[in-house]
């Protein structure tokens, strides 16, 4: 999915926040907004 497609999807659904979750080297889950 390209950035313009993602932006359109966010606008269509009225999404206000996007969070990205990942696991660090120690196995703890982390989130970036």
pLDDT score recorded for residue 10: 95
The reported pTM is: 0.53
pLDDT score recorded for residue 32: 78
pLDDT score recorded for residue 20: 87
Q: pLDDT digits over 1-33, tens only?
A: 899 999 999 999 999 998 888 888 998 888 876
Rounded CA separation 23/16 (Å): 24
Per the structure, the complete domain to which residue 7 belongs is given by 3-32
* Number of domains into which the chain is organized: 1
pLDDT score recorded for residue 15: 95
pLDDT score recorded for residue 5: 96
SS3 7: helix
């Amino acid at each position: 999915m390209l950035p313009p497609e993602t932006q359109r999807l966010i606008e269509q659904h009225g999404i206000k926040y996007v969070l990205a979750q990942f696991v660090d080297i120690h196995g703890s889950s982390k989130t970036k907004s």
